[in-house]
Amino acid sequence: MPSSPITEPTVGDIRAAADRIRGAVPQTPLLTSPALDERLGGRILIKPECLQRTGSFKIRGAYNFISQLDPAARRAGIVAYSSGNHAQGVAAAAALLNTDATIVMPADAPAIKLANTKSYGASVITYDRYSENREEIAAGFARERGAVLVPPYDHPWTIAGQGTAGLELMSQAKAIGAELDAVLICCGGGGLTAGMAIAIKAARPETEIYAVEPAGFDDTIRSLATGERCRVKPGQTSVCDALLGPIPGELTFPINQRLLAGGVTVTDDQALAAMAYAFSTLKLVVEPGGAVALAAVLSTRFDCLGKTVAIVLSGGNVDPSLLCATLTGASAP
C-alpha cells in the first residue's frame, strides 16, 4: 500500500492532481441551458462529468492515485471494488499507466459498466451484492497478489483527484462572471463532494455546497444532522446504482461536515425524471445517480429562484434499456 499519510488533501494537493492528470483526463465544459434557467428562475451552470473520459468523474481520482504509485507497486498491479463508475475509471487509468487492474464488481451492476470495465482491459471479479463483502474480496486479492487497492473515495489521493472538477468549475464560472450561490453535488461515499468542496471553498468561501443523495441512501445527510457517521438502513434499494455506499467515508465525512451547508434527498422517480429531462432538453446522457443534483433543482427540493447554482452531473453510464423504459413511460426493466 502507498505510504501516504491519511490526512485531508489541501487545495494545493488538488492543484497538484490537476497537473498530474492533465493530458490524460480532459477538462469537462461548463454548460448553460436557457430552458432550465427559465424553468427554475435562476442561473444554472451545469458541470457535465458524464462527458468525462469513461463517462464519469471517477477517472480523475483513479488516475491521480495510480500515477503516484512507485514503479514496483505499479508492476504488482492494482485492485478496486466498485459498482461501476470507479471500476471504469480505475480500469482506464490503469491501462493508461500500464498497470494491470482487477476490479471487484457486483454481478448485477449495469451491463454497460461491466462491459466497459472489461473493454479497458481490466479483469473483473463479480460478487453477490447481498451476500458477499466486496471490501473483503478486494483486500484478499490485494494480499494474495501484492496488488494495491485503489480506494473509491476514502483516500486523500482519490479525493484530490475528484477535487479537480471543483477547480475547473470555479475557474469556468469566474471566466463567465458567475458568482455561485450554491453548488449541488451527487454524493455516494463523499469523495467527489469532499474534493470539490475543498476547491470551491478555497476559491469562494461564501458559496454554499450541498450533497444530494437518493432517498434511503441519505447517510451523509443524516450524518451531517447527527454529527456522527450514520450507516444506510438495511433493505434499502434505489435505481441510483452509483450512490449506494453504506456509510460516509472516515476521511470524506469530516471534510464534508466542515464545508457543507447541508443536503437534499431525491426520490428514484425524481432522479429518473431528471435523467429524462437531461435527455430531452439538455441533450445529455446521464445515469440516475448522476442526475440527482439535477433532480434536486427540477423538483424544487432545492429552490434556485434568483440564485446562481451549479449542479454536477456525475456520470452517464446508463443501460439503454433503463433509459428507454423511462423515456417511453414503460416500467423499468
- Choose which of 20, 43, 47, 53 interacts with its own copies (CB under 8 A): 53
Q: What x-and-dash track marks residues 13-42 binding its own copies by CB under 8 A?
A: -----------x-x--x-xxxxx-------
Output phi, psi for 314, to 5 deg. Answer: -80, -20
d(C-alpha 105, C-alpha 108), whole Å: 8
Pick the piece of the chain touching its own copies (CB under 8 A) from 163-171, 184-192, 226-234, 275-283.
Answer: 275-283
- The CB-of-221 to its own copies minimum distance in angstroms stands at 28
Q: Does 50 bind its own copies (CB under 8 A)?
A: yes
Clarify whether 33 is annotated catalytic.
no
- The CB-of-328 to its own copies minimum distance in angstroms stands at 6
d(C-alpha 214, C-alpha 46), whole Å: 19
Q: What x-and-dash track marks residues 303-322 binding its own copies by CB under 8 A?
A: -------------x---xx-
Q: Does 57 bind its own copies (CB under 8 A)?
A: no
- The CB-of-98 to its own copies minimum distance in angstroms stands at 15
- The CB-of-85 to its own copies minimum distance in angstroms stands at 12
Is 62:93 a contact under the CB 8 Å cutoff?
Answer: yes
**Contacting residues for 130 by C-beta, under 8 A, at least 6 apart:** none
Is 263:211 a contact under the CB 8 Å cutoff?
Answer: yes
Could you say which DSSP state residue 281 is in?
I
Q: What x-and-dash track marks residues 96-135 binding its own copies by CB under 8 A?
A: ----------------x-----------------------
Is 165:28 a contact under the CB 8 Å cutoff?
Answer: yes
- Other Cβ atoms within 10 Å of 8 Cβ, number: 15
Please tell me which residue in 47, 56, 58, 201 is annotated as part of the active site: 58
- Choose which of 141, 157, 217, 279 interacts with its own copies (CB under 8 A): 279
3-state secondary structure string across 211-272 = EEEECCCCHHHHHHHHCCCCCCCCCCCCCCHHHCCCCCCCCHHHHHHHHCCEEEEECHHHHH
Is 85:58 a contact under the CB 8 Å cutoff?
Answer: yes
d(C-alpha 167, C-alpha 9), whole Å: 14
Q: Does 51 bind its own copies (CB under 8 A)?
A: yes
- Choose which of 80, 209, 243, 284 interacts with its own copies (CB under 8 A): 284
- The CB-of-79 to its own copies minimum distance in angstroms stands at 23
- The CB-of-31 to its own copies minimum distance in angstroms stands at 6
Is 288:241 a contact under the CB 8 Å cutoff?
Answer: yes
Clarify whether 58 is annotated catalytic.
yes
Cα 227–Cα 182–Cα 43 angle in degrees, nearest 5: 160
Which residues in this chain contact its own copies in the complex, by CB under 8 A?
A: 24, 26, 29, 31-35, 48, 50-51, 53, 55, 112, 279-280, 282-286, 316, 320-321, 323-324, 327-328
Q: Kindly list the catalytic residues.
A: 58, 314
